[in-house]
Amino acid sequence: MPNDKKLVVDIGNTLSKLAIFDGHEMVNYAAFEHLTKVQLDMFTANCDIQQGIICTVGSVPDFLIDDSKNRMLLFDVNTPIPIVNDYETPDTLGCDRLALAVAANALAPQKNTLVISLGTCITYEVILKNATYVGGAIAPGLQMRFKALHQFTARLPRVNMSQNIDSQDVNITSMGKNTTEAIRAGVMDGMLGEIQHKIAWVTATYEDVQIFLTGGDVFYFVNKIKIPTFVVSNMVLIGLNEILDYNINQCQVL
């Protein structure tokens, strides 16, 4: 039987995420703050990886460049993809955003979709039912907003959120009774309002929109959004795997 094990690497602003796919199924996953060759070798130790793909917001580590010459596809603006990219400046479009669009089209083919990714930044991506990516929006993410309030003021404290609570217990309020609560109220209620405004605009502009939520901070907002959504973990990795398959099966570049 053919070996379908594939390595997918997504090097983001905060974490480097690795996954092994068998066909369309993710069979292993890990995330690292600073990816090293040792970590990569340990992650792939028991797998005979034949193909892979790398997506990065910055430069590619040297140890991945060595592999990319042989079996790894470096995803960039010139890589063939299974959707139409109608972005006016494709060379400035983050590959992670494009991977989200590909994933949405694969998960909901022939449907208009909106992908909201809540990570270091919040990104909003709109994909039409004819498999065309038309664009989106970028805004500061949750931790970036907390950090900015601390760094650009003289006295406001740095506020963090803990994920060690049930999502049902996440309290998003419009008013705080102390400074920490006031910062949380301003940031989180503001983000929720922004998310709901974007959803309202997209659903008013396009018919029958399926909405996907992904990213590490989905936890805080998923139960507060008043419209049906689908939560999908590691959606960038899913999209990268689809792009890799497209290049293997359709374009024969590997």
CA atoms within 13 A on the CB side of 240: 31
Name the packing angle between helices 95-107 and 235-246 (round to 10°): 80
Q: What are the strands, taking DSSP E only, across the chain?
A: 5-11, 16-22, 25-32, 51-56, 72-74, 84-85, 112-118, 121-128, 132-140, 209-214, 230-231
CA atoms within 13 A on the CB side of 247: 21
Output b/e per residue, 61-83; b: 16+ Cβ within 10 A: beebeebbeeebbbbeeebebbb
Q: Which one is catalytic: 96, 166, 169, 217?
A: 96
Residue 218 is given by DSSP the state: H
Catalytic residue flag (residue 96): yes
Q: Which residues are catalytic?
A: 96
